[in-house]
Amino acid sequence: MRPCRIVLAALAAMLLSGCLARAAVDVVSLPVKVASRGVDLATESQAEADEKRGREIRKREERLGALERGYARAMERCGDGDDAACDKAQAIRAEMKALSAGVPLEPDAD
């Protein structure tokens, strides 16, 4: 009975040493994995930056289109003699000018 216990103890020691070694490797490599994940979350790839820039440009273009429609309506009313519409058209035009600086120009297709 005693030799059986010795063999089992030796076998258990070998099996557990592998588990302990694996656990030690996991514990040691955990800070590196956490740090690299944090860096990955903190930085954005070029593709992500391009997508973000594209969304911003589309938003500005949509807003610019809405402003142009409002400006046309205000100018029409201004032409009919509505002074408040003239003031509104000037305010819209100022916003359009500020917004158009952030929208890239399309190259002319000659």
- Convert the pLDDT of each residue in 74-93 to its tens digit: 999 999 888 899 999 999 99
Element (H, E) at 109: none
Sign, Cα dihedral of 44, 45, 51, 57:
positive
- Residues 83, 44: contact at Cβ < 8 Å? no
pLDDT by residue (tens digit) across 18-61?
665 566 667 667 777 777 777 777 777 888 888 888 898 889 88
* CB environment 32-47: b (16+ within 10 A), e (fewer): eeeeeeeeeeeeeeee
d(C-alpha 89, C-alpha 107), whole Å? 28
